[in-house]
Copies of this chain bind each other. A is one copy, B any other.
């Protein structure tokens, strides 16, 4: 039987993999530097858990099914829900608990540019007493990940849901919760729709023109922390205090690419305080490289009203896409050529010695003429060819050919390894 083979759903091929591996390595090293504990929450969750964040609306966006025991389960769509469930059940953890995870997430929606049905996220979360220091910690760590990847032209946009809500209630005189939420949703659309579109849409929903105008004006409030804080104090919004503290903390942490931006509200039914999003200035079309904020409601749903929570999650594919090509260090690959059967054993020993030193070495797995082997070496991008033939065997040496300079030298194996390591 021969199958009609459908294409794979989102294979990560070697070129994409290497870029993603760089993002993962940067994430792990930053997580360790900031003393987050790395873990991984379950990939499959009970559906009731996945619904905790935004209710049954989530069903349309996830892979869920009945397992063979009749239980409703689904694939995780982020890491936050699972980590929060985990932390809430581990009453023995010291607080604040700083946890980090990276891995696959699954969303059943139409693939967007830079967004796959199966993709990978990194995640940093802090649970404990409410503290704006914790928000500063996750924003700082997220920024450090991008910096470590050489992504310097980025901006971290910061807002606060409480400030937006106070503005809507106090300045626009809207008191009904559902109406407040509707206007917050309008702010979330500021970067996607034109002011006139939004105005038309919200006037049709029964808001008066002046309310919508003032809201859109408010949504345009963006700039340095000091500049935005100045404008907020003119509006006498008492909830701006935490943004003030956060600005000082981020400044102490040497974070300069921070923009306060009142249109940042993020997932409406989820976040409860400071929210943020990081973008690549050169490529805004990619969407956020990471985002997050405070979400005190979720631990409460998992039975832990004593825990406050804040965190950041970043897209590994998106971030990999924004890495400049060719910025990774070139690999040192040695191709060990084998002129004939008689020196196969010696050549394999040489390859083993290279590999034990952590040097990438390839050997022909099918013997072929030396000229063909040289071609293979060149095609796979080897920096050196090490030839182990009869002549070399007799002089207890190897020939090392530098593929750039095309120079060859007869050296002892140890000297050849030293040469490669130094290069």
Contacts and interface: CB of A to CB of B under 8 A. Distances in A.
Contacts of A362: 34-35, 98
Contacts of A5: 49, 85, 88-89, 302-303
Contacts of A38: 14, 17-18, 21
A108 B35 contact: no
A176 interface: no
A301 interface: yes
How many copies of this chain does one complex carry? Answer: 2
Interface string A103-120: 110101000000001100
9 contacts: A8-B41, A9-B44, A9-B45, A44-B117, A44-B118, A65-B65, A133-B364, A137-B365, A252-B346
Interface class of chain A by DSSP: mixed
Interface string A345-378: 1101101101110111111111000000000100
Interface in A294-348: 300-303, 331, 333, 344-346, 348
B301 A3 contact: yes
Contacts of A366: 96, 128-129, 131, 133
Interface size class, chain A: 35 or more
B21 A144 contact: no
Contacts of A363: 133, 137
A252 B360 contact: no
Nearest to A108: B68
A1 interface: yes
Given A104-B43, A349-B253, A86 B8 contact: yes
Given A2-B303, A249-B348, A254-B352, 15 more contacts: A3-B303, A6-B48, A8-B42, A10-B44, A11-B39, A14-B39, A32-B360, A33-B355, A44-B118, A63-B65, A126-B365, A128-B365, A137-B363, A252-B349, A253-B348
